[in-house]
Amino acid sequence: MKYTIHILFLLVTISLPASGQGIHSHQESEKDTNTLNHFFEKGRFYGHARSYFSATVNQKELMDSYALGVGAGIGYETPIFLRHFQLGISGFFMFNVLSSDLAKRDPATAQGNRYEVGLFDIEQPDDHEDLDRLEELFAKVHLTKKTFITVGRQIPASPFINPQDGRMRPTLTEAAVLEVKEGKHWSFQGQYIWRISPRSTVRWFKIGESMGIYPVGVHLDGSPSAYKEHVESNGIILGGFTFQKNHWNVQIWDTHVDNVLNTGMLKVEWKSAPGTERTWMSGLQLICQQAAGNGGNEDPARAYTQPGSKSTVISGRIGQQSTRFDWYLNATRITAEGRFLMPREWGREPFYTFMPRERNEGAGDVSAATLNMYFKPEKHIKLEVSGGMYRMPDVRNAALNKYGLPSYAQVNLGLTYQFDHYLKGLNALLLVVRKDQLGETYQNDRFVFNKVNMTHFNFILNYHY
């Protein structure tokens, strides 16, 4: 990251106007636009500063945790040159200002921290010094005004591989991305991804290597999963087609992880006529998944998924949007034919019933229902009240419950404030999450710790410039 800072500092230095050269020199430089200095001035600098406090309070006999992280980053994107080309670079550094011992394991369960360690680098939980990452480094070729290819390190945008920005820094990919927006009502995106830097890390990993950085859960027979560092895959190929016309939005996506699994998704959403006082909307998602190749390894014990395995997910939504109040009623069903799998290192699941700080990935035979309500009393304030009930398979049913998560109820309370005027670009988020056990845990706290019967707090400050 020291090299990243040097590069970014050089870009800033080059792009700043020369000073102390006298009026005559300044006037001459204004007339001469054929300079490297003038070229960089036409580019776009952007930056982000972030402060994140997180705390988890478990039931009395189990360990609590807290952490405060701060960080900042800067990026630069050149103007288009030679009619077709652009370059971009960005980097970010962060510090663990204060925290509980994030490497310590709970004495009762021998399990580690789940949330707070993810603010920094989960591979180095004891590191309180600066943690740095070269985040973006790309070249973009504009084939036409509405079609371009981006190659290099960049922020991902697809249903299953996405920034999942719920910690200090998001997930990033190293990829070649084609975007086509030539049609009036349609667009296409195609990607080939060969490396990933998951959130809560500072390194870049090959695709197979990235699977297992987060906790791996259990194998189908209940033994600890052993796929970490053993998954063989040459990359990810994904494509997405979007059609938007009048009241309808239709998306078709396919995400193919070489030698591991293939996931197809159909999403259809409808909205009533815009401009009315209240807008009705509804949506439906159908996700079909099946194993590919040998599931990641010839040895089934070291494979990410088993050959022949499959899963189906149906998720639906109905809701209403207005100037001051939005509400959505959602439901999701993951069938009992197998686990729905997608590496948590890559992004959060797109189900309508998703609520921040928990997932249903790794499970089958799941029924979920949620209600989201958003109040906007004025333009700077947004209040969220969301609640959900999730019926999970029995925690001892390893074939359908990879992480041993019991059935649970969850309530999220959120407050977002967007500053204005002198502090424009600054926003604050307070999120409080409560999760309570509904299913049997057989008096085993391993099914409770950091999963249910807990309260989780987040206070986040973001400043974008």
- Phi, psi dihedrals of residue 24, rounded to the nearest 5°: -60, -45
Q: List the structure tokens of 230.
A: 């053993």
Q: pLDDT at position 21, please?
A: 45
DSSP label at 6? Answer: H
Q: What is the reported pLDDT for 18?
A: 41
Contacts of 435 (CB under 8 A, 6+ apart): 357, 358, 408, 409, 410, 451, 452, 453, 454, 455, 456
Q: 64 Cβ partners below 8 Å, 6+ apart?
A: 55, 56, 57, 58, 100
Q: What is the pLDDT of residue 37?
A: 84
* Interior angle at CA 44, CA 41 and CA 49, nearest 5: 125
Name the CATH architecture for the domain at 43-464.
Beta Barrel (2.40)
10-residue stretch averages of pLDDT, the chain, 465 residues long:
48 45 47 78 94 97 97 96 96 95 96 95 86 95 96 97 90 98 95 97 96 96 96 98 96 98 98 84 98 97 96 98 96 98 96 96 98 96 98 98 98 97 96 98 97 98 96
Chain region(s) in the chain for CATH 2.40.160.10: 43-464
Contact predicate 416/458, CB 8 Å: no
Which of 270, 369, 383 is closest to 325 using CA atoms?
A: 383
Distances (CA, A) of 178 to 16, 148, 158: 33, 6, 13
Question: What is the reported pLDDT for 17?
Answer: 46
**385-413: per-residue pLDDT in tens?**
999 999 999 999 999 999 999 999 999 99
Classify residue 190 by its DSSP letter: E
Model pLDDT for residues 71-81, shown as the tens digit of each residue? 999 999 999 99
H/E run at residue 131: strand 131-142
